[in-house]
């Protein structure tokens, strides 16, 4: 049987053992190694420009809004008074773009390990960051997120881990040590959210994170959203909070906060964000 890894004219993602995802490469725009990972950008007629790192889809122009809206607005609106946000990873700038849409957010620190991803995303995927890198509220730090949280003395209201999967440089961002240090940077009703893979394909990854969150946070769970190019069904976002209050916020209050924020979105609404925490049995079964 033909190994799907090499199909001329297609980018074949083999993130999972028994599964491959092929995306037509109508035009290859960039293909190079940084000193950390292999960067490729190509254009696909359906998904627009697609960024892969070490062969794994990171972001596509067509469906990135779902992921970035759900990982920013859900915790920021639930928190209700988030002024300082920390993003770990996020080199394409999409997470920073969405977080900075909140006028109430006064400061975003973004810690990205690979300067090449930032520079190159500005050139080849400018629509993803859409000016976020020029926002005076953004403090871009080129560093390993696991190193950053070791020595950081700042505090944050919301921390968003927008990392690659737990392979290569992203692996350290899925450890109890990292989660514990990140938690120590939260204040008040602080919330930590994480990119936590597609539970149907990466269930153990979610269980591991939730086990760590159960030991660390007063309130812990995950929430779901389906991003078409993260293959295998809904993606899980880890959620850990210093108190129960944010997730217990009534929908009417979430909607009032959202109306005040005055942000246009194509996926997130307070009702969608709240409903995303309703977990189907196969995901609940992964919780420790
Ligand atoms: N949406 C994607 C996903 O769900 O897999 C993530 C996109 S974003 C491009 C992932 C970023 O994490 C990349 O820019 C990568 O360089 C960065 N990254 C990986 N490991 C990191 C680490 N240890 N510290 C900081 N950034 C890291």
Distance 87 CA to ligand 1 centre (A): 10
Domain that holds residue 51: 10-60
- Give the CATH number of the domain where residue 173 resides: 3.40.50.150
> CA–CA separation, 40 vs 33, rounded Å?
9
- Whether residues 221 and 277 fall in one domain: yes
pLDDT digits (tens, 9 = 90+) for 237-256: 999 999 999 999 999 999 99
- Residue 3 domain-assigned (yes or no): no
What value does the mean pLDDT take over residues 115-144?
Answer: 96
Q: Once rounded to an integer, what is the mean pLDDT over residues 274-288?
A: 98
| Residue 34: Cβ within 10 Å count | 15
Residues forming the active site: 162
Nearest partner of 71 among 59, 57, 55, judged by Cα: 59
Q: Measured on CA atoms in the order 101, 41, 91, 190, is the torsion positive or negative?
A: positive
One domain, residues 258 and 169: yes
The verdict on 47 and 128 lying in the same domain is no
In a domain, 4, yes or no: no
Q: What is the mean pLDDT of residues 218-247?
A: 97
Name the band, by pLDDT with cuts 50, 70 and 90, for residue 15. confident
User: What is the distance in A from the centroid of ligand 1 to the CA of 219?
Assistant: 25
Cα–Cα dist 117/41, whole Å = 11
Q: How many domains does the chain have?
A: 2
Q: Which residues line ligand 1 at a C-beta cut-off of 6 Å?
A: 53, 58-59, 67, 88-92, 111-114, 117, 144-146, 162-165, 169-170, 172-173, 195
Across-strand partners of 13?
21
C-alpha of residue 173 to centroid of ligand 1, in Å: 9
pTM of the model: 0.96
């Amino acid at each position: 049987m033909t190994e799907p890894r090499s199909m001329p004219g297609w980018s074949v993602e083999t993130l999972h053992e028994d599964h491959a995802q092929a995306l037509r490469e109508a035009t290859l725009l960039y293909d190079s190694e940084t000193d950390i990972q292999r960067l490729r950008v190509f254009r696909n007629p359906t998904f627009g420009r697609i960024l892969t790192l070490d062969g794994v889809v990171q972001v596509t122009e067509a469906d990135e809004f779902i992921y970035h809206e759900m990982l920013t607005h859900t915790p920021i609106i639930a928190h209700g008074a988030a002024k300082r946000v920390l993003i770990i990873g996020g080199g394409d700038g999409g997470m920073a773009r969405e977080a900075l849409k909140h006028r109430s957010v006064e400061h975003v620190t973004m810690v990205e390990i690979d300067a090449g991803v930032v520079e190159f995303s500005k050139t080849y995927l400018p629509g993803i960051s859409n000016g976020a890198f020029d926002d005076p509220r953004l403090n871009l730090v080129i560093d390993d997120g696991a190193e950053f949280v070791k020595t950081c003395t700042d505090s944050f209201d919301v921390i968003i881990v927008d990392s690659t999967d737990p392979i290569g440089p992203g692996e350290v961002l899925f450890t109890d040590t990292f989660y514990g240090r990140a938690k120590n940077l939260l204040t008040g009703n602080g919330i930590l959210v994480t990119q936590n893979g597609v539970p149907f394909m990466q269930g153990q990854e979610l269980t591991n994170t939730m086990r760590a969150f159960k030991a660390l946070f007063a309130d812990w769970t995950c929430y779901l959203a389906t991003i078409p190019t993260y293959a295998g069904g809904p993606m899980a976002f880890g959620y850990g909070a210093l108190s129960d209050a944010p997730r217990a916020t009534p929908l009417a209050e979430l909607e009032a906060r959202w109306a005040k924020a005055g942000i246009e979105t194509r996926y997130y609404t307070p009702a969608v964000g709240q409903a995303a925490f309703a977990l189907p049995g196969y995901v609940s079964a992964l919780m420790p």
